[in-house]
Chains A and B, each alone.
Chain A
Amino acid sequence: MTIVTILYLGLAAYAAFFMIYNFVKSKKWEEEALYVIVLIPFLLRIFGLK
């Protein structure tokens, strides 16, 4: 695994963390649904699935 790939996965994890944080803090269900949908591809990449 190259350093660039490790940095990329770190970046994806960083973005995923804030999406989860925003999901928890959000008061609107539309935003919560949006955060969850956007989060999925980030998690799939972090888990090495897609």
Chain B
Amino acid sequence: MSSTIDRTVIARKLIIAAIGLVLLVSSGVSFYRSRHLKEPVVLGPGVTGVSRLGDYFADIKGSVNDSNIYFLDSKQPGATILVLGGSHPEEPAGRIVPWMLVENAVMTKGRLIVALSTNRSATTSTRPSGAYPPDFSIPTAWGEQTFRMGDRWSNPLDQWPDPEVYIHYPSGQYLAYVDIRNVNRTWPGRPNGTLTEKTAYAFMRLIEQEHVDIVVDLHEAELQYPVISTIVTHQRGRDLAAMVSMTLTDLDGFKIGCEFSPKNLHGLSHREIGDFSPAISLLFETPEPFLDATRGKTTTEQLLTGKDEFVVKAGQHGLLYEKIDEKGWPIAVRVGRHTSSVAQVMQTWTEDHPDEPIEALNIPRYREVIQHGVGYYLRDPSKGPAARVVYE
């Protein structure tokens, strides 16, 4: 009798353990695939070189954040602009636009430097308890291109533990503990700091060594966040940002504001890059309902269409800082705003600095991106020469 009970108990434990093992393996495989998903980049005709972030700061070399840095050099005199994508990878328009630049843009004057994964570690995990999809795909004429979903913060597997309070260096300002893994709270970085601080420090060395004149940091924001549909500029970039804002609103047909970076809010690119380098720093925000706390189901469809009835409802109650209706905020609209913004920054800068121009071909404007869709501007990696395909 006793041995029968023992066998029953053992069988029960084995079944429960097997179910646990299935859950462990299935979730583990999903997490592993997401972390190691290879994202192809087809180097467009304008790309003249690819270096690594670690080339500017040895401590980053070989780390998860030793990301690719793309150079599009016209070989003609002019200024240098750096476009940062993927500071917050969960804001996909901010990552896709630099992709389109690398795969399409050709500089005719000056130089463009692009980072697709400013915080690459943050591309390798999703928000705990956020129910985020592990990746998302953009349809193209040749199939789909899949991107890691990513998060706002560096992967805890790469940087842990978080402190009780994050004390920003060098200001000493107290910030939320988790933001010690947020690259847009760690500028200008610290050479002996955390991975995220070292990453910002490496970018500062890049800005310094490559004599960057303008830094554009591309983001998206939830509609419940007041800093949305705007350019945030360091005070040295106010004339440029104001003119870009007015021109985009007038000519491209979408409203984008302009506001100054608060002098006492530290760690952000629009504040610290301007304070700690000669470069003008601008940060662009476009609406992303996927990030809103009041959103409904967190799906890839919601991410790409920007449609969400719950966020619409929040808007009807006056809880949002940006409009939304049943049309949502499709990814083409958000990407188009950013491509137009980057192109307009170059154009306005050149008008103000004719002796230091930055001119480019093949950067689509807002209406073109909406007309053709985002996938139209992504290249088929199977068609590109192997030597011209790299991975993020």
Binding site for B on A (CB under 8 A): 4-5, 8, 23-24, 27, 29, 32-33, 36-37, 39-40, 43-44, 47-50
Contacts and interface: CB of A to CB of B under 8 A. Distances in A.
9 contacts: A5-B160, A8-B161, A29-B12, A32-B13, A36-B20, A37-B20, A40-B24, A44-B27, A49-B28
Given A5-B160, A8-B160, A43-B24, 9 more contacts: A23-B13, A32-B13, A37-B20, A44-B24, A44-B27, A44-B28, A49-B31, A50-B125, A50-B157
B176 interface: no
Interface residues of B, number: 18
B16 A29 contact: yes
Judged by DSSP, the binding face of B is helix
B293 interface: no
Contacts of A5: 160-161
B319 interface: no
B211 to A, nearest CB: 35
B9 interface: yes
Contacts of A44: 24, 27-28, 31
B23 interface: yes
B17 interface: yes
Nearest to B17: A36
Judged by DSSP, the binding face of A is helix
B32 interface: yes
Contacts of A36: 16-17, 19-20
A27 B13 CA distance: 10
A4 B161 contact: yes
Interface string B136-156: 000000000000000000000
B345 to A, nearest CB: 39
A40 B16 CA distance: 13
B27 A50 contact: yes
Interface in B10-38: 12-13, 16-17, 19-20, 23-24, 27-28, 31-32, 35
Contacts of B16: 23, 29, 32-33, 36
A46 to B, nearest CB: 11
Given A8-B160, A36-B19, A27 B24 contact: no
Nearest to A34: B16
